[in-house]
Amino acid sequence: MSAANRLRSSLLILLPALLLAAPGCTAAGSAAGPGSVRGAVLAEWAASPIWDDGRAEIAAYEAVAMRYGEPRKFTAYLIVVKEDFSRSELVKADSGHDPADLVPVLKMNQVIHFETGVYDYHQMLSIFFDRSDMIPLKMSLTHFEWCGNTYKELKRRGGKAVLKANTYWDGMAERSFDVPFTGRTLMYDELPVWLRSLPWGPKERNWGVNLIPSQISSRADDPRPRPATLKIRPEVEEVRVGSETLRAYRVDLEWEGGTDTFRFHEDPPHVLISWDRSDGGTYRLLWSRRMPYWKLNAPGDAAHLGVSTPPAIDNG
């Protein structure tokens, strides 16, 4: 690691205590509070100027999803980009929107597309993090395959959230759930990004959390939070990505589904390198690049998704 990165890592270790001790560090209406897991994130991570460069972070993964008892191979994409958000409508704000209603967010899109026999699964999950505290304001999911369409939407205001779902399942055509959202409530689906904003230190930390199960499904099952434990490991591991060996931090999630393991690049902004799910699903990083994907819509621009040469992670 370079001297600059060593200094940065030292600051990342020390900063949480300063943040938690400082008055006014928790946003009004936030689910975070003294002693909460939510309050442990680094404000520096979300405030980094890397998110203000007018581009999105696109990360491609060699992935496996388990469906109908069989592993389905595909390329998954995780997209992280800064947006201006309407606090009242909880949608992306157009230029000229009332400044008093704006809140900057980091949006994560997870794009999933794989084959099951004669038909495909198409799923996209979006989570919108309030940039001031990395607490989701909204989650939405679209799911479609030959059996039907599903749409879900969770909106959080303060310590309460409401999940609404429309599915093609009998008994689940329209469902609405009130979901408690305290300082220890986490959504499983936010972990690939939220965990990146944690401080990494020399000691193992075990955090008890209330985990909202993954919403990437066609069904509208009960989303009530389940008890879980996050184990933030102190050791740095070496992970092979293509022809490179990258150093990574590790987090284990222990919950009723088993154990999930996440590994994140040692250097900021801590790109997700690997993800091993308790259900047999896996993500392995192919590459991560910054690009304005919304402008790359001309014939031939799909070539940008074929990037596979070193370095695996390019934040330049």
The structural domains of the chain, with segments of one domain joined by +, span 3-314
On whether the CB atoms of residues 250 and 262 are closer than 8 A, the answer is: yes
What count of other Cβ atoms lies within 10 Å of the Cβ of residue 62?
14
Q: Are strands 102-116 and 70-86 parallel, antiparallel or unpaired?
A: antiparallel
Looking at this protein, which amino acid is placed at residue 108?
M
Residue 203: other Cβ atoms inside 10 A: 8
Task: Return per-residue pLDDT of the chain as tens, 316 residues.
Answer: 444 444 344 443 333 333 333 333 333 345 766 568 998 888 899 999 999 999 999 999 999 999 999 999 999 999 999 999 999 999 999 999 999 999 999 999 999 999 999 999 999 999 999 999 999 999 999 999 999 999 999 999 888 999 999 999 999 999 999 999 999 999 999 999 999 999 988 899 999 999 999 999 999 999 999 999 999 999 999 999 999 999 999 999 999 989 999 999 999 999 999 999 999 999 999 999 999 999 999 999 999 999 888 999 999 8
**Taking a C-beta distance cutoff of 8 angstroms, is the pair 200, 232 a contact?**
yes
Short-list 242, 251, 272, 150, CA closest to 209 = 251
Which residues are within 8 A (CB) of 144 and not within 5 positions of it... i.e. 6 or more apart? 122, 150
Helical ranges in the chain per DSSP H: 3-21, 43-47, 191-194
Among 283, 130, 266, 254, smallest CA distance to 194 is for 130
Q: Which residues pair with 288 in a beta bridge?
A: 59, 313
| pLDDT tens digit sequence for 89-115 | 999 999 999 999 999 999 999 999 999
